[in-house]
Structure formats: C-alpha cells, structure tokens
Structure 1
Amino acid sequence: MGGPDGDGEYRAYIGSFTSGGGRGITVAAVDRVTGGLSPLAAVDPFANPSCLTLAPDTGVLYAVSESERGAAGAFRPGADGLTPLGPPVAVGASGPTHLSLAGRRLLTANYASGSVSSLAVAADGGLSGPPAVLTHRGSGPDADRQEGPHAHQVLPDPGGRWVLSVDLGTDSVRVCALDQATGELRAHSDTVLRAGSGPRHLAFHPGGDVVYVLHELEPQLTVCRWDPVSGSLDALSEVPVGLDDVPEGVRPCPSVVAVSADGRFAWAAVRGTNTLVTFSLADGAEKPRPADTVDCGGIWPRDLVPDPSGRRMYVANEWSGDVTWFSVDRASGELRRTGSLAVPAAACVVFG
C-alpha cells in the first residue's frame, strides 16, 4: 500500500458520533488518482470518537471520546483496522471536542468543562494519566451559548513553544506554555475578540506569523498576527463569512477553517447554509478575500480537510451522514464536487 505521495492507495480515518448513529471510527482506502474512498473496516472503541489526529512519527491514531466522562484513546493502524494501545484514558473533564499532539503530550479541548487537558504519550504511542488540566474562566453575552467557558480547539504553534486554545464561551484565544515533563499548562496571554462572536477554530498560515480565527456565533474570520517569540496574538481585521444570499430563517454557523500548504488559499465550512467558502490570499496572508462559494454536498459540514496532495478537499457532513470530496482548482482554489461516501454522523477526517 502506497503513502499519500506514492502509488496506489493510502488510508483515511473518519470519526463519528455514535450517539447520532455513527459507527465509531471508519477506516477507508483512498485512491491516490481519483481521491475515492472505499471503506475497509469500522471500530467502535467508545462513545463519540468525534475528533482524531495521527502522529506523523509513529503513525499512531488518537481519538477523543466526546462524552460526559471525557477520555482519549490511542490506536495502532494495521491491515485489519485499528488495534487499541491500552484502554481509554480519562482527560479529567467533560465533552472533549478536539485534540492535538505537542511533543510527548496529547492535548484535548474540553467544551463542556471549559478546560484544556494534557496526557502523557509513551514511546510506543500509548497514553497514560493522570491528566494535567487547566480550567478557563469567564463568560460571554450570549446567555444560551456563553454562560461559561467552552474550549473548542487546542493546538501547538508551528514552533512548538506555545499552545493556543480557542474558547467559544469567553470570546478569546488563550496562549499557554507547556511543561513537557509534567504536562502542566501555564497561562501566558489571552487575546479577547469581539464579544458574542464565539470563536471556534483557528488555522496558521504556513508562513507561521498569521492566524485565521473562525467564529461560530457570528459568521466572520478574524485575521491575527502571531509573534512566536513573545507568544502574543493580535487581532488585525475581520472578514465576513457566508453572508451572501442566506435564506430567511437560516443562521450561518461556521465550523472549521483550513489553509493550503502553499499559503495561496483558505477555506471555511459553514453549517446552516451548508456551504464552503474559498478565500484568495493573493493580496497577502493578512488580506483574505472571499472568492467563491459552493454547496458542501450534504448537511451540516463539521470538518473540512485538504488531502496530503492538496489536490482535493474532504468534508464531513454530520447531519446527512457522508464524507464528500471535491477537486481543488490549483489556479483559483475553487472546489468542484467529485464524489461521496456514506458515513453516518461523520465528524472528522484525517489521512495517513
């Protein structure tokens, strides 16, 4: 079996909500030429493995259990599917929605508890506790969604020195320092964004000094300047997302932002309108310009992921239960739908 840049097929791993009828984690072969997905196996290790990440060095797959008793698990991919590397490990918080690797630590953003957790990663890729937990404080003006902190994403900066967490409940992005020995997360700085905007997800430009923060409660993209030396994030401008021709009674709810590896384009998925927005970065990384909007091919696009080649984009449409893929126009960044695979309650896609 070839890798993403070789011949033949490689793998896609699709997380889903078991509470919504999902099968757990679906393993699919990816045809390198066509981009088509062919399901190989499905494993149901625990409730709601809604977010996945793959270690680039060991090939180990990690998943959250987005449940009241939040946990994370590690799996070794193989010819027959996935082999657990031990039992799931508690993250010491409720409702983990996102995870990422930072050195020898696995980080989770815990939406229900409004916190970030850190677990130790062993040499074989397995996980161990107890978790180190940093709880956010604060609230926002939206009484229904911002009664308290709701950490939605956590990831290290490109240099690996800092950890950034996006909090929908407090309208902020927090920067922390991570102690690799103990797993302790120490608060460093807090960038407060527009009140009530509900930041959900961010992505770095490959240049490393520009960050795009996507908001769920107000359909906008905030462009920020990132200083990796001081660990400071400063908001520069706001760009509307998905505001054209919105049907009456429909509320746009952006979910995820992605940036091309060459830094020429960015894309955002918008639930409610069920659209994908292409941004041109031809005017500079700090000046994204909406260039095109297409239908997502389903309902409620929760994840949006370029494949390793950059030639295709994959969308996990949660409510319609599918992963749909698009070809990417290399000149314009525009997307054209080319195929789809039924995956009930699809929530996340990673490649390896």
Structure 2
Amino acid sequence: MTSAYILSGSYAAAEQAGITLWELELSSGALTKKAAIAGVERPSFLAVHPTGRTFAAVSETGNGEVIAYWINPQSGAIQELNRQSANGDHPAHVTIDEDGQWALTVTYSGATVSAYPLLADGSLGEMADSKRHEGTGADTDRQDAAHPHSIFQMPGTNRFFVSDLGMDAIIRYRLDMHTGKLEQEALVKTEPGAGPRHMAFHPSASFAYGVNELNSTVSVYKLDGNQLEEVQTLSTVPETFSGNNTAAEIVVSDDGQFVYVSNRGHNSLAVFGVAEGLLNALGHRDAGGAGPRHFTLVNNSTWMIIANEQSGTISSKKIDDNGMPGETAYSVQTIEPVCVRPLKY
C-alpha cells in the first residue's frame, strides 16, 4: 500500500466545500486533495462505517442535523445519502458502532444523546431513542448546563460512554442493539471544573483514558467490567506554561504503548508512555499549526494527521520509534478543519 485516505470535517459555511477527501502518500506524508463536497453548514465531526463505503457527519448548528454519505476514495466520489434531525442544538460528535448498525450522536447545547439505525445502503433511519442530560459544573461560564461532548463505544460491548463537559461527568449507556433503546447505567464524576471532552480505550488492557478540556488534564480509568475507576490524573501542559489552554483530542497508539493529547493554546501534542495502564509524561511536540482541535493516527502506518482549526491547516507528522511525533512533514491549507478520520477501504 503506497497511500491512505483521510476525511476532514470543518466549520465551513454551507456553500463551501466543508468535507474533504485527502490522499496521504505514505512514503513522504504528502497530502493531496482528491474530492470535496459542500451543502452542509459546519460539518464538524465525522464517523466512518466499518466497511469504509459510507460515513456520517454532524452539522454543528442550532437545530443541527446528522447526515449520511456514500464514498469511493479511489474514484474520489462523495454522495450525500440522507439527513435526520440531530434532536438538539450543536451536535458535537457522532460515532458508528463496531458492527455498523447504529449511529449515535450528542448535542452540546441540546444536551441530548440519540441513536439512529443505519440502513443497508448506509443511510440513516429515523431516530430510535434519545435521552437528555441535566446538570451543571463548577465553571459558571462553561458549565452552566449539561453539555455532552462525545460518545465512544467500549470495544467489544454494547456500552457507550458520554463525556459531559457541563456536568463534569462520564455517563455510561447500554444500547439495545436490536431496538436502539438507550439505558443510562452509571455516572462517574470528574474533578470539579475538569470538563471531560473525549475518551479512548487501551487496545488490550482494561484501561480507558479521558481528556479534560477545561483544566487541561488526562485522567486514567481502570475498567472493572463496565465500571470506571479513576486511578490517575496528569496535566497535558508543561508546569512552566502559564497561558490559556484547552485540551481537545486523545488517542491511544495501536500497540497501547503511547497516549497522545492535543493542546489548544500551548498548540502542542502531549505524549505519554503507558506502563501497566498508567501514564508517564514523555514530553511535548508542536502541533504543526494553531488550535489542534483533532488528530488521528493512520492505521498500519507511523503517520499522525492533525487538524489545526485556528491556522486552517492539516499537517502530517511521522511518529518515531520512541513514540514521539517528528517535524511537520507536510501541511495543507483548508477551511477551519476540526476533524480528521482515516478512511478504511
């Protein structure tokens, strides 16, 4: 394989091409635009179907939508399939379950968690169920109400964890894989004012990792069955840093040896080594741009792709043998990129 494909979402206007398909040259890290599609306002977060033939996006607006697409990366074709209401304002995240049967979304301002069946052609069926969060946090500005920011599946299970930035809580749901009904099972509180944002799971050990946006920390959770127990919390910025920062994305390497977190403000990637599930800080590398809202590791390669919202750039970096991102290999200008996803094919 000489190349891979990356999808990016953005805060583009509806008349702009907000979703872009990039070809990544694996030998050099060069990124080439293969296709783009307009027609959706602020198509921010994306989720790729396990088949790699379809994907979903959210339109992060008031009274937002979730949209399904068909894609052929080799020919560069992208086609919208259909749309459904996101059942709330500003949908911030969408995930597709491991079996490709359900799309689940959260709305940041609407405080809803919703499930949609995925039909045989990849289009979205009508919403099967929705739950609404209520609560506040210690930060009166950012935590005046519940703000679910993401939903992630616990691998190999029908459990999904929602990080609610406004409530300082991670809430576990059970999804009925036949009916799409959501059952709230448990709630774990974070440190007051932490603002949990995203999660990632260790590929082989019973640990999960949560990035906290507001206090720029990463929390380590031991998994006892489906239960989360917080066992460690570390800062994502250096002790000497005194500026404003919000932590954004968290990713675990395929081999489970490293955890990466992006910092907006410090504009860096924090790198942690993993030993028996716990983390040790290894250092920071520049993000290759300003406002690294999201990044991804490209499957079966040593490449990291970073969406730098504020500088309007998508950058590629090669990971060295010590797990550290290197210098920026390549960078392309685009409209306010906020999500990058490797396309399975």
Instruction: Give the alignment's TM-score, normalised by structure 1.
Output: 0.92
Alignment of 1:94-243 (within 5 A): 94-102=89-97, 103=99, 104-228=101-225, 231-243=226-238
Of 243, 247, 254, the match for 1:254? 247
Contiguous gaps of at least 5 residues in structure 1: 1-5
Deviations 1:103-152 (A, max 9, x none): 41100121111121111100111101135211112110111110111000
Of 240, 244, 247, the match for 2:239? 244
Deviations 1:86-112 (A, max 9, x none): x31112111111111124110012111
The aligned counterpart of 1:312 is: 303
Contiguous gaps of at least 5 residues in structure 2: none
The aligned counterpart of 1:75 is: 69
Cα distance in 1 for partners of 2:112, 2:263 equals 25
Q: Offset of 1:297 from its aligned partner?
A: 1.4
1:88 aligns with 2:83: yes
Cα distance in 1 for partners of 2:333, 2:15 equals 12
The aligned counterpart of 1:41 is: 35
Instruction: Give the alignment's TM-score, normalised by structure 2.
Output: 0.94
Cα distance in 2 for partners of 1:244, 1:81 equals 47
Q: Offset of 1:210 from its aligned partner?
A: 0.3
Deviations 1:175-214 (A, max 9, x none): 0111223222110000111111101111101125101111
Q: Offset of 1:342 from its aligned partner?
A: 0.8
Q: Residues 219 and 243 of structure 1 are in contact (CA less than 8 Å); yes or no, is this contact kept in structure 2?
A: no
Cα distance in 2 for partners of 1:269, 1:208 equals 23
Cα distance in 2 for partners of 1:20, 1:90 equals 16
Q: Residues 296 and 342 of structure 2 are in contact (CA less than 8 Å); yes or no, is this contact kept in structure 1?
A: no
Kindly tell me: are residues 219 and 117 of structure 1, through their superposed partners in 2, closer, same or farther at Cα, counting changes over 3 Å? same
Identity level (%): 27
The aligned counterpart of 2:277 is: 285
Q: Residues 313 and 333 of structure 2 are in contact (CA less than 8 Å); yes or no, is this contact kept in structure 1?
A: yes
The aligned counterpart of 1:329 is: 320
Kindly tell me: are residues 183 and 210 of structure 1, through their superposed partners in 2, closer, same or farther at Cα, counting changes over 3 Å? same
Deviations 1:216-272 (A, max 9, x none): 1101111001133xx2111111111113332x5x21210011110001111110001
Cα distance in 1 for partners of 2:177, 2:229 equals 26
Code of the aligned partner of 1:180: M
Q: Offset of 1:74 from its aligned partner?
A: 1.2
Q: Offset of 1:33 from its aligned partner?
A: 1.7
Kindly tell me: are residues 75 and 208 of structure 1, through their superposed partners in 2, closer, same or farther at Cα, counting changes over 3 Å? farther
Deviations 1:303-347 (A, max 9, x none): 021111240111100010010111101234343321111111001
The aligned counterpart of 1:15 is: 9
